Amino acid sequence: MNLLKQQGLYDLKSTEVSQLEFDSFDLEDLSPYSLLYQTGYLTIVGRSKEGLYQLGYPNYEVEHSMLAYLLQAFGGFAKGLGEVIALRLARAFERDDLEGVMRILRGVFAGITLSASQEAVGAFFRAAVHLLFS
């Protein structure tokens, strides 16, 4: 999770990589995609005519687990809290409760404290929103 957060990688579904991603075994320069593939968190779901591999989650359980951990890492939530917030957000959308959606999002963003450059802050918020909605 630290490596993914460091590199700003959170949208792992349908990622395209070249063969070179799988050839790196240097501990000083680990490829997160290779590591996730070798450990079974990602699998090859296709290959383009140009030879790029399309990676995805092997099943729903792995995807659900990874999204929960990514949300924890990028959102700064306590273990399991990000998932609870995401489910509350989904319920608010299902009820067409836009005011509830906004209240949840304001609460999430109010709890985030950052001391970084504007670019890093923007990337962080994009990751948090993407993961909440995923």
**Position 40: which residue type?**
G
CB 30 within 8 A of CB 24: yes
pLDDT of residue 26: 67
> How is the chain split into domains, by residue range?
2-56, 61-133
- C-alpha–C-alpha distance, residues 131 and 69, integer Å: 10
Q: 3-state SS of the chain: helix, strand, coil percent to 5?
A: 60, 10, 30
Q: Is the dihedral of CA 76, 79, 83, 85 positive or negative?
A: negative
Q: Is 0.85 surpassed by the pTM of this model?
A: no
Summarize pLDDT for 74-108 with one digit per residue, the tens.
777 777 787 888 889 899 999 999 999 999 888 87
Strand partners, 16: 54
Amino acid at residue number 58 = P
